[in-house]
Amino acid sequence: MNPAENKALKKQNKRQERKKKDDLYLGRFARFPNGLADTSLVKYEKYGAVIDGSKEIISKNTKLYIDKIVALCKENGVTPLFVTLPVYYKHFTNYEQKHQHLREVIPTDCPWIDFQEKYDTTAFIPECFENTTEKNQHITYFGSIVSAYKIAHYIHDSLKIELPKRHLTQKWHDMFYGQEGYFYNYPSKKSDQKNVLLCKDVQLGNCYIHDIINIKGDKNDQILLKIKKGAFSNEKRIKASVVIAIQGHKFLYDLELEKAPSIDPIFHDLFITTIKKGVIIESLSKITAVK
């Protein structure tokens, strides 16, 4: 990426401004919106890996400050968690040696998840990485979402750390309601006219539906369907048999939804589709997998 492109990206990520002084603004640390292009992927095939893990030595200063951070955490009753975010898997060769070098400086009594060592090719696709074959490669915004959900699962499923359940308080929902990603994890309010709650907490056959939301857009509407983990967790596409109304006429219709590729909440699977404006979903009778 040349300096001009880099400067343009920084400006682009600064455009989102607070409408009011006290509005919640979470910011965005992943400033790269686009993943690896086909031209970059060809370079890996032609020239091979960019980084040789056997040559990636950890400095003494790094070890010194890791020890200081860990000691400070333990003094304050905090569990330090080490996370290694990945670069594209073809970016590295001999990564097992780099992993060993990291192991030498990360205390063995501290949890550590290395997404490069346990590389998930189905999740960390080219779209997750900055479009560069230079040595320093960042994750994109898409890659940050994939990583965030994986870290959440690791903390919940493997470490089993009891975190504060702030989402059980109304104050927390009042603060975050409608923010980016909120409706992927929580239902909309019944009073919300833009993000319409179609149903909530429904048992349908062998699946439990947390909620279905119709998010109204300028040209099309988006349907978010959340199903409790288990029944359709291994499916990429599902079919929802619904009754729809268009201009006062009702029809039976099979609505196909795709599992969101980067979004993996802990307790439910998220399926998404778009529908034309003016189409109203009146009822849902069955959900099946699309083979």
Nearest to 222 by CA among 279, 145, 149: 279
Q: Is the pLDDT of residue 267 over 90?
A: yes
Chain-wide mean pLDDT for the chain? 90
- Of the CA atoms within 13 Å of residue 208, those in its CB half-sphere come to 7
Distance from chain centroid for Cα 66? 28
> CA geometry: angle at 85 spanning 51 and 44, to 5°?
35
The predicted-structure confidence for 193-230, as pLDDT tens digits, reads as follows: 999 999 999 999 889 999 999 999 999 999 999 999 99
Output DSSP code: residue 47. Answer: H
- CATH number of the structural domain 189-289: 2.60.40
Write down the pTM of the prediction. Answer: 0.85
- Rounded Cα gap, residues 97 and 85, in angstroms: 16
Torsion, CA 289, CA 178, CA 167, CA 191, rounded to 10: -90
pLDDT score of 31: 78
CB 115 within 8 A of CB 88: no
Place of tokens 């979470």: 26
In the chain, CATH 2.60.40 sits at 189-289
What region, left, alpha or beta, does residue 278 occupy, with left being phi > 0 and alpha being psi -120 to 50 degrees?
left
Q: Percentage of the chain with pLDDT > 70?
A: 90
